[in-house]
Chain A
Amino acid sequence: MSRALSFHLGLIAVLLVLQFVLPAYHHGNLARVMVLAVYAMGYNIMFGYTGLLSLGHAMFFTAGMYGMGMSVRLWEMPVGVAFVLGVVIAAVFSLIVGLLALRTIGVAFMIVTLMFSQAVFLTILYFNPVTRGDEGFVIPQPVRQIAGIDLSDATNRYFAALILFSVCLLAVLALVRSPTGRVLIAIRENEERARMLGYDTWAHKLGAVVMSGTMAGAAGAAYGALFGSVGASFAEVPFSILPLLYVLLGGPGTVIGPFVGTLFMFYLRDLSSTLTDAHMLVAGVVLILLTLYARRGIMGLIRERWLKWLP
């Protein structure tokens, strides 16, 4: 077993142990952080590894969330099936978005993703009678169970979040150490050169968008299933900025970075909420400071200084 693999398995083991020792409040927080970290890890595949900056990732999150939520609400599907459906919808949706948006590069790509995401948000508002628009809807507690396991119970919820998180963490680890992952990094570093070497960069970028969108969709579907709320606020622009913030803080292009960033940001916001209600102020200040002084993020700095082998 390689160093990198044991490092990440170690993280999962620590999270497993924490389940039994954490006080209730932090226990609940950590379950939420893990689901949001899955969202950020998906984002990291595109931004951190492939160098594609998306400003509209909330659309993939919402595709999963509403794909899951609407199937429960309208067709009374069991949550497990609805979750899978939500992930599939997010995958198909990210394929369509990727096919269109990847025709652009650079700033235009960022704006196209922003516009698509905004269109998704407005569409949810427009179909207010079906989606309940801004208010959103609650997935009732009795429905939130898979194979008889109640997902609204704190322990079960933590385990469900941990399973999803572990699967995604190991999947990203496997991806970035595979030949495909190497090509993605090559595209980030120099797309022209990667193409010259004979790699189909367009297909690889499309693959990155689909993987990234699907993972974000899985996070969205899980968020709805575990915490019971589905709403249009998850489709708004600030929610697209959050994974960017998490990844920049934790370290773009590191497997563990998105989790570290999410954890830090979550508690920073928690601490600042005692001082002010304007919680996005912290996000703004951190974004500016990161771009000015710490482009590599926390794990990026640690990799540079001490752990050179960190994937």
Chain B
Amino acid sequence: MEFGPHLILAMLEGLVQASVLTLTALGLSLVFGVMRVVNVAHGEFFMLGAVFAYGVASWLGGNPAVGFVAALIIAPLLVGVLAVACDWLILRRLDYDPERTIVATIGMLYVIQQVTLMTYGPDAHPVTPPFNHRLAIPWVAFTDTGLEVYFPWGLSTTSYKLFVVFAAIVAGLGIWLLMARSKLGLILRATQLDRETAQAFGIPVERVYAFVFGLGAALAALGAVLVVPIQQAHYLMGGDPLLLSFIVVIIGGLGSLRGTVVAAILIGMSDGIISVFFSPTLAKILATLLVAMVLVYRPQGLFGAKPA
């Protein structure tokens, strides 16, 4: 076994994971940044995205591409609407008090998870990817005739995985455009900066909050729809994305979107690489301890600026 090609493979796998993680963590970061709400049910919105994607795809049947594209639109939309309902029915009534909302979202986590178990069942189901070409990984080697490109046997990625990376970049750019270049983004940033002043300037803060909570959940669902052709939809699949998103949001600095993206790529890549060469459990132990230490010694995150 050669080290080089395997490293490339590990990095590609890490990149796919980082892409999905970026979307999920962006959702969590947005909700925390604007609303100051720690959404423990975020992983369950991710899981619902995957389950709805399976539902839509198997309901439409026929061509996998049609089902997938439909799922890509419908699943995040449904999850977003559900999240808005949760915000309206529960979080708004708690007046977004940090401690009480955290307890309420823990409750939401279990309700969503267990209702899925009761309706969707305990089995994992796959979604067929719209396209799935095997792409061999090229590598160069020194031979008698000089440099030569060859394809190490058995090492490959798929066109779908590359599409996931591409789609995540597009969605990430979309969020950046929304936040930095649109009127809506201006309203969101104003609310994030100072809720009361925003309200005084006539911004409907409650509606902004509901929208942000829905958007955050929809982003998680979008990440899940992208990942479900690679990884099957299962009612317990929300745990890992939740933990990793927490790690990313904290390392990147609570509420900083740019930090979140950088940290997601860093954590996703290193988790992928460590998992290929070492034990995945060890990777997670190190990551959780790192997060705890960052919170203890550098609460503004590794990339955040020190608060004045």
> A residues touching B (Cβ–Cβ < 8 Å)?
53, 55, 100-101, 103-104, 106-108, 110-112, 114-116, 118-119, 122-123, 125-126, 237-238, 241, 244, 248, 276-281, 283-288, 290-292, 295
Within 133-173 of B, Cβ neighbours of A (below 8 Å) are at none
Q: Which residue from B99, B115, B285 sits with its C-beta under 8 Å from A53?
A: B99
Identify which of A116, A119, A280, A286 gathers the most chain B CB atoms within 10 Å of its CB. Answer: A119
Q: Is B104 an interface residue (CB 8 A)?
A: yes
Tell me, yes or no, whether B131 is within 8 Å of chain A by CB: no
Contact of B94 with A292 in the complex, beta carbons under 8 Å: yes
A286 shortest CB reach to chain B, Å = 7
Are B295's CB and A111's CB within 8 A?
Answer: yes
A190 CB to closest chain B CB (Å) equals 15
In chain A, what residue has the closest Cβ to B279?
A126
Indicate if B1 sits at the interface (CB-CB under 8 A): no
Docked-complex contact B98 and A126, CB < 8 angstroms: no
**With A104-B296, A118-B288, A126-B279 as given contacts, are A291 and B114 in contact (CB-CB < 8 Å)?**
no
Is B282 close to A, CB under 8 A?
A: yes
Contacts of A53 in B (CB 8 A): 99, 102
Cross-chain contact of B295 among A108, A237, A241 (Cβ < 8 A) = A108
Per DSSP, chain B at the interface is helix
Query: B22 to chain A: which residues have CB within 8 Å?
Result: none
List which B76-116 residues lie within 8 A (CB) of chain A. Answer: 90, 93-94, 98-104, 106-115
Interface centre among A103, A107, A126, A241 (most CB of B within 10 A): A107
Binary per-residue interface labels of chain B (264-280) against chain A in the complex, 1 for a CB within 8 Å, 0 otherwise: 00000000000000010
What residues of chain B have their CB less than 8 Å away from a CB belonging to chain A? 38, 90, 93-94, 98-104, 106-115, 117-118, 239, 243, 246, 250, 279, 281-282, 284-285, 288-289, 291-293, 295-297, 299
Contact check, B295 vs A112: say whether CB atoms are below 8 A apart.
yes
Q: Is the CB of B109 within 8 A of A284?
A: yes
Please give the distance in Å from A120's CB to the nearest CB on chain B.
9
The answer to whether B118 and A287 touch across the interface, beta carbons within 8 angstroms, is: no
What is the chain A residue whose CB lies nearest that of B291? Answer: A115
A285 CA / B99 CA spacing, docked (Å)? 17
Residues of A within 8 A of B299 (CB): 104, 108
Contact of B110 among A123, A277, A283 (CB under 8 A): A283
Q: Is the CB of A284 within 8 A of B107?
A: yes
Q: Are A288 and B90 in contact (CB under 8 A)?
A: yes
> In the complex, which residues of chain B have a beta carbon less than 8 angstroms from the beta carbon of A111?
38, 246, 250, 291, 295
Q: How many angstroms from the CA of A126 to the CA of B293 in the assembled complex?
A: 20
Known: A283-B107, A288-B104. 7 other contacts (CB 8 A): A104-B299, A106-B98, A123-B285, A126-B285, A280-B110, A284-B109, A287-B104
Task: Return chain A residues, CB-CB under 8 Å to B115.
Answer: 278, 281
B38 touches A110 (CB 8 A): yes
Give the complex CA separation of A118 and B246 in angstroms.
12
Partner of A119, one of B101, B109, B111, B289: B289
